[in-house]
Structure 1
């Protein structure tokens, strides 16, 4: 375990960065929080809300001021910034990120910042909100949620120790995973559901009876489509960054959807019931496992 409090820096100050900053200050893991963001208004707001203690004038200035640096920007902005951080590490003992897609980013680091790669511990918190911006920051956002780290043989043990301790201090359960496995799993469990929610709402919004559709939509529609209120730019970036894995997940889903369509078209009630029953069993097992994890965490 790590000892003492640390100076933590954030490149990017939105919902995730702000929430992690609040959590680390609340638990005492961070003795100070410094941030840099391309948007001066985001930094001003973070200072006003006491989410951060100081604003850095540049990424190199931030790296010179902190022990631990966290990249918390939109996915497609990550590559240039992570290379700037790792090629100018300053006094930082480790660098991590919160991007939803790891493969391309880590390959870029190995190619363009091979020395700094030892300090880099790719990370992804499986937590979020349809809200965005530092004003929505919540210190409890990561409690009882998983964070996936994707270190490899290049990763310095001290860097991994620090990043693991950082997320544990925020209340998260930390798990390590292979980079490619991470991208495939997240394509199926997070990226695909967001694409489906956006697609459904967009299709219904273009219907000639859209007013009645939305007027009479009830709880099931609300629950299924909640994530379609998420940041469109962020999810555009994630979809493009994880293109191969997401396309594979989409193709697999479309096959299942076409099978369901055929069952409906041919009046095959037995096939429909079998599919629905199998899905209910899997969903119920997932709900029981989730409830058990929550009981253990509490």
Structure 2
């Protein structure tokens, strides 16, 4: 499908894209680009066969490339666009994998003046608590949602290439606006991560005086699994999507205040109703996953 695929940021997601593309024969050659401080990670990626070659200079990294995927934390996307700008090619298709899309589009507008027609913003809704190229998996995106957020002037041919690329990887592709994407992901992904980080932060500080974690059971492990995610990545995501997250946090505070009052009033009936509604709502979510 592509002659040469360049991955900028060969970590969990970028590395998994490379592994998936290789396993499905979607690129004749796959190269990685990173900064000097990422040399060891890039050497690991090459040793593991995730990429064929790596570069610390963007010029040779882009030579002969017809597809570029930017797989860096969302806070670093603008600097990558600035790096790419002098060498931007109309013969290449560009995409990203950022967990927020409005800020990626805004970053492109600041760098280029207008979002290039061959830049197709995208977000694979997949990941793991582990980070780094050693955690990369060829089937990370298999049967997982992939959202593309094109603009009105996005080149149809570029959009089609990115959509086909992800479909051949095995993703379930949807197309929507960046604003709608950010609102949906704030509720279903970004807020849960905030909650997990906040709970473990609170209990971890108490653990300095007592043995809370020693007696935590499977429920705590399952609920807080995502607090093992990369702090830098999630700091950038939450900061970038704060306009969507802050109203949700206010709603959550209201819900917690309601439950606190039900406990104070010994109102077991309404507490049961709240828990039952939540249980049924989650079951509807699980039923959707199976269909």
TM range (shorter): over 0.9
Name the structure 2 match of 1:190.
Answer: 189
Instruction: For residue 175 of structure 1, give the secondary structure of its aligned residue in structure 2.
Output: strand
Does 199-208 or 35-44 show the bigger shift? 199-208
Moved more, 211-220 or 279-288: 211-220
SS of equivalent to 1:96: strand
Report if the CA contact (8 A) 2:2-2:66 is conserved: no
Unpaired runs of at least 5, structure 1? 293-298
> Which residue of the partner structure matches residue 200 of structure 1?
199
Given that 2:207 and 2:213 are in contact with CA atoms closer than 8 Å, whether structure 1 keeps it comes out as no
Using structure 1 for the length normalisation, give the TM-score: 0.92
Q: Secondary structure at the match of 1:166?
A: helix
Alignment CA distance shift 1:236-1:111 (3 Å)? closer
2: distance between equivalents of 1:103 and 1:220?
Answer: 35
In the other structure, the counterpart of 2:20 is: 23
- SS in structure 1 of the partner of residue 212 of structure 2: helix
Q: Equivalent residue of 1:206, what SS?
A: helix
Shift of residue 170, structure 1, vs aligned partner: 1.5
Where does residue 34 of structure 1 map in the other structure? Answer: 31
The equivalences for 1:134-149 within 5 A come to 134-149=133-148
Deviation string for 1:127-179 (max 9, x for gaps)?
Answer: 00011111111001000100111002120011101111111122111111111
CA distance in 1, matches of 2:268, 2:136: 47
Structure 2, gaps ≥5 residues long: none
Larger mean Cα displacement after TM superposition, 101-110 or 224-233: 101-110
Partner of 1:296: none
Q: Please, what TM-score do these two structures have when normalized by structure 2?
A: 0.94
- 2:92, 2:249 → 1: CA distance? 39
Tell me the equivalent position of 1:54: 53
Match of 1:10 among 4, 7, 28: 7
C-alpha deviation, 1:184, in angstroms:
1.0
Separation of aligned partners in 2, 1:99 and 1:248:
22
After superposition, the C-alpha distances for 1:170-206 in whole angstroms (9 at most, x for unaligned) are 2111111111111111111111101100111111112
Query: Which residue is 2:122 aligned to?
Result: 123
Q: CA deviation at 1:278?
A: 0.8
Say whether the 8 Å CA contact 1:87–1:113 is kept in structure 2: no
**1:175 is matched with which residue?**
174
Q: When the two structures are aligned, how many residues end up with a matched partner?
A: 289
> For residues 250 and 59 of structure 2, what CA distance do their matches in structure 1 show?
43
Partner of 2:108: 109
In the other structure, the counterpart of 1:232 is 231
Residues 1:58 and 1:19: Cα distance change in structure 2 (over 3 Å): same
Distance in 2, matches of 1:171 and 1:210, equals 48
Per the alignment, in what secondary structure is the counterpart of residue 235 of structure 1?
A: helix
User: Whole-Å Cα distance in 1 between the matches of residues 269 and 130 of structure 2?
Assistant: 41
TM superposition outliers: structure 1 runs of 4+ over 3 Å: 208-212
After superposition, the CA RMSD in angstroms is 1.7
